[in-house]
């Protein structure tokens, strides 16, 4: 299977405008993300997909590969779908542009679910990690996912799921990590479907798959590094260098 990693990156982030070009220990966030993704060694090719000349030039000037989006897009999935429309590729992984410490192990585990006889039925997969902090579990900025015994997603929500009505049971809470792997055609199908009711209510795009009857395989990981959403996150990230 041909596997590519695409990093959607826009300049005008709502909570932290220009964060992709923010300095992180002498390199920009987007350059560190690109380099760490390449260094995982799990992809046949890695490219940044952006609507910004600034980000495009940042990657190209450092010898990397980048693609300029031709249209305005609502989501990263839409942006990378435009990029792969004419590509000969089997598996596409959407790597978040604000994850400068991307590592091999989670991406390798994500790609493995498409292999073998069981993998033939997997159309889309994503990552999750256990949540233990009660404040994070209750925080709507942390998207939670409930899974079945085969680790297929049952539901995604900003609310607390499962709700602990039975106080004698200690449920396991999982946070959805927004790194996706798709079969090419599944990604193209996604962009043609209209936004679905639950997706609109929760503002969680992967609910569109579930509402259209497409199972999503979830992969448990224990390491995701630091996602940079705010200037405070950038300060935390600097401590990892």
List the structure tokens of 111.
Answer: 């790609």
pLDDT digits (tens, 9 = 90+) for 6-30: 999 988 776 788 999 999 999 999 9
Pick the closest to residue 45 from 5, 81, 77 (CA basis). 5
What is the 8-class DSSP label of residue 68?
E
Instruction: State pTM to two decimals.
Output: 0.90
Both structure tokens of 173 = 């809470």
What is the reported pLDDT for 226?
77
Using alpha carbons, list the distances in angstroms from residue 160 to 113, 134, 155, 156, 175.
27, 10, 11, 10, 10
Choice among 79-83, 159-163, 172-176, 181-185 with the minimum mean pLDDT: 79-83
Distances (CA, A) of 118 to 115, 215, 217, 239: 7, 13, 11, 41
Phi, psi of 148 (to 5 degrees): -85, -175
* Average of per-residue pLDDT values in the chain: 92
Average pLDDT of span 152-163: 97
Banded pLDDT at 58 (limits 50, 70, 90): very high
The two three-digit tokens of residue 115, written as one number: 């292999």
Q: Could you count the other beta carbons within 10 Å of the beta carbon of residue 214?
A: 15
Closest CA to 102 of 49, 34, 50: 34
């Amino acid at each position: 299977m041909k596997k590519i990693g695409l990093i959607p990156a826009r300049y005008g982030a709502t909570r932290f405008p220009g964060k992709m070009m923010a300095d992180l220990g002498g390199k920009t966030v987007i350059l560190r993300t690109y380099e760490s993704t390449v260094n995982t060694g799990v992809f046949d090719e890695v490219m940044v997909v952006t609507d910004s000349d600034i980000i495009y030039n940042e990657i190209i000037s450092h010898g990397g590969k980048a693609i300029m989006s031709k249209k305005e897009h609502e989501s990263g999935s839409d942006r990378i779908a435009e990029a792969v429309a004419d590509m000969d590729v089997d598996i596409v992984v959407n790597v978040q542009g604000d994850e400068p410490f991307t590592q091999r192990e989670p991406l390798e585990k994500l790609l493995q679910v498409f292999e073998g006889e069981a993998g033939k039925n997997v159309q889309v997969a994503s990552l999750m990690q256990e949540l233990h902090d009660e404040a994070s579990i209750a925080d709507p900025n942390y998207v939670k996912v409930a899974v079945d015994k085969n680790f297929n997603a049952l539901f995604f929500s900003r609310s607390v799921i499962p709700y602990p009505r039975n106080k004698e049971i200690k449920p396991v809470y999982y946070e959805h990590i927004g790194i996706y792997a798709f079969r090419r055609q599944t990604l193209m199908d996604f962009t043609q479907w209209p936004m679905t009711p639950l997706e609109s209510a929760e503002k969680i795009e992967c609910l569109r798959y579930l509402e259209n009857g497409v199972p999503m395989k979830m992969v448990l990981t224990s390491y995701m590094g630091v996602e940079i959403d705010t200037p405070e996150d950038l300060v935390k990230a600097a401590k990892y260098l």
